[in-house]
Chain A
Amino acid sequence: NAGVTQTPKFQVLKTGQSMTLQCAQDMNHEYMSWYRQDPGMGLRLIHYSVGAGITDQGEVPNGYNVSRSTTEDFPLRLLSAAPSQTSVYFCASSYSNSGVNTGELFFGEGSRLTVL
């Protein structure tokens, strides 16, 4: 019963390096999203997708790219890492009703990223 699987759990990067955070879900959810969580702040939406081939920007998309080639996978790419991207990243999915997020999100375990 995997649910939402994120890798890696921990990563240290140097400024300017690129990397991809992987996210996969096995619940056939149409809606998938990436959040970052920083101390003292609410979860902030980076990018989201309401189905394969469809992606859109959230509140803080700069410096990140996503793609959704299949229903199951939603990778997040950091193009050129900056110290401001040090954070905990969560992938989340939910059942989508007519293309909108129904709100009950299932989260991956999180990826803790440090950029030096």
Chain B
Amino acid sequence: GQNIDQPTEMTATEGAIVQINCTYQTSGFNGLFWYQQHAGEAPTFLSYNVLDGLEEKGRFSSFLSRSKGYSYLLLKELQMKDSASYLCAVTDSNYQLIWGAGTKLIIKP
């Protein structure tokens, strides 16, 4: 079966760095996405990885290792507005997205 695992909840301090991990087992792989979802709102696109390595976009970075079925999202200089759920999703061999349940990130002052 297809499976995406990520921690249910994480807590971090304003100004700090946090790493949210995602492991996946899917039938085929055509890319991994990270989305941000604030409570009561729609998900919004954060990053896309299809090749191994690190993609940096401002305070957010995303890493992929295809051989390990592993990705992480790194958030630096945390701000209160980063409190949200972070969704990991993998595009399978049929180009359909398989979604993790999301990691709720709580930022404390």
Contacts and interface: CB of A to CB of B under 8 A. Distances in A.
A109 interface: yes
Contact of A104 (B42, B45, B87): B45
A58 B102 CA distance: 20
A101 B33 contact: no
A107 B36 CA distance: 12
- For the side of the interface on A, what is the size category? 10 to 19
- For the side of the interface on B, what is the size category? 20 to 34
B96 A58 contact: yes
Nearest to A4: B42
14 contacts: A40-B101, A41-B101, A44-B99, A48-B96, A90-B42, A101-B91, A101-B95, A103-B33, A103-B97, A105-B35, A105-B43, A105-B45, A107-B44, A109-B41
Given A43-B99, A44-B99, 12 more contacts: A42-B89, A42-B100, A42-B101, A42-B102, A43-B89, A45-B97, A101-B91, A101-B96, A104-B33, A105-B35, A107-B43, A109-B41
Interface of A: 40-45, 48, 58, 90, 100-101, 103-110
